[in-house]
Amino acid sequence: DFEYRQLLNMAANVLLYTSLWYTILHKLLKMSYKIFLRGNLVINTNIQNRSPKPGPAAQEQELGFFLETGLQRAHVLYFKNGNLTRGVGRFREILRAVETRTTQNLRMTIARQLAEILLRGMCEQSYWNPLEDPPHQSPLDDPLRKGSNTKNYALSRRPRVYTGENIFCPQENTEEALLLLLISESMANRDAVLSRIPEHKNDRIISLQSASVVYDLLTIALGRRGQYEMLSECLERAMKFAFEEFHLWYQFALSLMAAGKSARAVKVLKECIRLKPDDATIPLLAAKLCMGSLHWLEEAERFAKTVVDLGDKTSEFKAKGYLALGLTYSLQATDASLRGMQEVLQRRALLAFQRAHSLSPTDHLAAFYLALQLAISRQIPEALGYVRQALQLQGDDANSLHLLALLLSAQKHYHDALNIIDMALSEYPENFILLFTKVKLESLCRGPDEALLTCKHMLQIWKSCYNLTNPSDSGRGSSLLDRAIADRRQLNTITLPDFSDPETGSVHATSIAASRVEQALSEVASSLQSSAPKQGPLHPWMTLAQIWLHAAEVYIGIGKPAEATACTQEAANLFPMSHNVLYMRGQVAELRGNIDEAKRWYEEALSISPTHVKSMQRLALILHQLGRYSLAEKILRDAVQVNSTAHEVWNGLGEVLQAQGNDDAATECFLTALELEASSPVVPFTIIPRVL
């Protein structure tokens, strides 16, 4: 076709005839569509190989470089001229056409480009679905665009399009973008070049780049909807051509983190570290995961040391490395069962935090964790100095304010501590850790009535924050707290701290094991009462159980066993085999004077969590009353090994030793108890989360 070749030559000289380019392109496209629809022209060109897979030349029809570029370029001109509506419409026309082998490469490119436009250039208010007519006036279009740049052309024949009754039609921009990207991903995976031989290197690079763009856009689209599980599945399919490709491995690791698959994420991050050994952010992320729900403290220590050992290569991250190392040692000290090992690990943690603070004196986290470690070691004045530094650097940090309140309570300034908690709650009204501390302080400062009102307020917050249903709730309600929060149904989601060990607020090995055991037993017990298992994540229900247990503790403090029993039963409906619930049942039994029943509840609690210090201390007290001094002493010495700063345990040990006639040892225990009680906060310092 002589005229067609002539137009191709004119397009090739576009730099010389820029003023004629738009007109020439439209004429070229009009003829190209006619030629394509007739199917009687094969353009063989050696300018660019568009086949995605290497191999022998197939005897197939291809659009050719100029025709394919022209089809794409026309729509780009619409966008450059400010006519986004027309450009999107043209893209959709091509994508709705029945697919042929000659248009597969073009279809994948256009689908990806349209998805990018939908994600970056269109909002929900300006969106119209593919079956609707585009708006005559759209806020997406440039009102100042020139008419000469909006020429239209009509085709005598239109391509065949997909029709039918059950064709899916997206209803919003993210939905359409996601559909286009999943189609593009399927085509990219199908046409991926996996051969590693040198002859296919260029094809492999092109294939990888095309797929990477699709997965980056998928990350944006699925991230907006919070569909991290689906994103991780998509990126897992990309692993077949991710050999030595850091970007895809790192994206995969981040998607696994967001989806809550921490164990797999750590393994993928190890591969990322191998590919990029000088990047300190990767081992820091791995250490963060290991210190969290996984509680792989030895792994976390290795990752933290990796960051520290990078040295001058990543000097800006060295302080973070020491911070991670200090947190690891601090958590290991909480886990340690021997008092000597606890002290060694606490000293290591203190040195690491001091090093982090010296390297980064403007980092409020370094000052805060140094203060927290000093507080755990009962160096209260020094801790107060550093927590004030942390608050000067970050005045609205909830954990720093909480630590300041606990330090003031350790100095017996309960009213000042309560004022700090109230100030923190004005900024973070849904922080349950602060609210639990407030209940303790109000019991001391304002009386039990105020503490019960706070428990009532916590239940109201819980209802407003969660949209969960407890199937064991038969609607019977509760006689507690003015019956204002008896209905616990129809409850939305916010992030909460982990209450695996409500006594200390920290997550350590024994509490993790205990929580898994009690969860399993609670599910078995619940299944005997109700055929439907508890739905949704555990954290909301654990928080609700803690609220009821705090209310029960307040009632026990004022000598009301009936109300305390009702509150404990509410918690037992959620976790019937929780060691905290069993301990509270023992407390209620003691209040009623049923020593044998209380002893049985404490023994059951210790069978679930052998290191629950409060149960150990109360059981030893009962054994002391029963005259079983040797067993009581054994239990109390074990409790001291678990928590050497519990002044009640030291006092109980002194009483047992005194009853046995060992006055010298008893005196030492009493003195230790007095010293520890003088610096004891209203709740343990370790209730504050230690996370990177």
> How do residues 413-432 score in pLDDT, each as one tens digit?
999 999 999 999 999 998 99
Instruction: State the helix-helix crossing angle for 281-291 and 262-275, rounded to 10 degrees.
Output: 160
Tokens 């991710």 locate to: 242
194 vs 613, residue with greater confidence? 613
3-state secondary structure 432-499: HHHHHHHHHHHHHHCCHHHHHHHHHHHHHHHHHHCCCCCCCCCCCCCCCHHHCCCCCCCCCCCCCCCC
What 8-state DSSP symbol labels residue 156? S
pLDDT in tens, 356-389: 999 999 999 999 999 999 999 999 999 999 999 9
155-178 per-residue burial string, b: 16 or more CB within 10 A, e: under 16: eeeeeeeeeeeeeeebeebbbbbb
285 or 10, greater pLDDT: 285
Residues in the chain: 692
108-123 per-position pLDDT tens digit:
777 777 777 777 767 6
How far is 407 from 388, CA to CA, in rounded Å?
11
Domain extents for the chain? 439-578, 612-692
Q: Chain-wide mean pLDDT for the chain?
A: 77
pTM of the model: 0.76
72 vs 79: CA distance, rounded Å: 11
- Average pLDDT (173-177) is 78
**Average pLDDT estimate for 29-38:** 52
316 pLDDT exceeds 90?
Answer: no
d(CA 528, CA 9): 82
Interval 389-406 mean pLDDT: 93
Residue 161: strand, helix, or coil: strand
What are 97's strand-pairing partners?
Answer: 161
pLDDT, one tens digit per residue, over 642-665 is 888 899 999 999 999 999 988 899
Is the Cα torsion angle 412, 418, 419, 425 positive or negative in sign?
Answer: positive
- Kindly tell me if the per-residue pLDDT of 512 is higher than 90: no
Q: Is the pLDDT of residue 458 over 60?
A: yes
- Statement: residue 524 has pLDDT above 50: no
pLDDT score recorded for residue 238: 83
Whether CATH 1.25.40.10 fits 612-692: yes
As a whole number of angstroms, the distance between CA 35 and CA 25 comes to 15
DSSP β-bridge partners for residue 161:
97
Q: Which two tokens stand for residue 567?
A: 């509150």
pLDDT band (50, 70, 90) for residue 1: low
pLDDT recorded at residue 480: 45
Residues 49-92 have pLDDT tens digits of 344 454 444 444 555 666 666 666 666 666 666 666 767 777 77
